[in-house]
Amino acid sequence: MTTTSVLKKIDTLKAKIDAHRPLDTHMLKQVREYFRIGMAYSSNALEGNSLTETETKIVIEDGITIGGKPVRDHLEALGHSEAYDLLFRLAKNQDITEANIKELHRLFYYRIDAKQAGKYRKRRVIITGTDFIPPTPERIPVLMESFIAGLPVTKAKRHPVEFAAIIHREFVTIHPFIDGNGRAARLLMNLAMLQAGYPVAIIPPVLRRDYLDTLSRTHKGDDGAFINFISGVCYESAKEYLRLLEG
48's torsion region: left (phi>0), alpha (psi -120 to 50) or beta?
Answer: left
Q: How far apart, in whole angstroms, are the C-alpha atoms of residue 151 and residue 124?
A: 26
Q: How far apart, in whole angstroms, are the C-alpha atoms of residue 89 and residue 87?
A: 5
Asked if the bond preceding 22 is cis, omega within 30° of 0, the reply is: yes
Q: Given the residues 80, 159, 175, 219, select the one marked as catalytic.
A: 175
Spatial CA neighbour of 233 closest among 206, 213, 194: 206
Answer yes or no: 168 catalytic.
no
Angle between helices 140-157 and 98-109 (to 10 degrees): 110
Spatial CA neighbour of 105 closest among 59, 172, 155, 46: 172
The residues annotated as belonging to the active site are 175
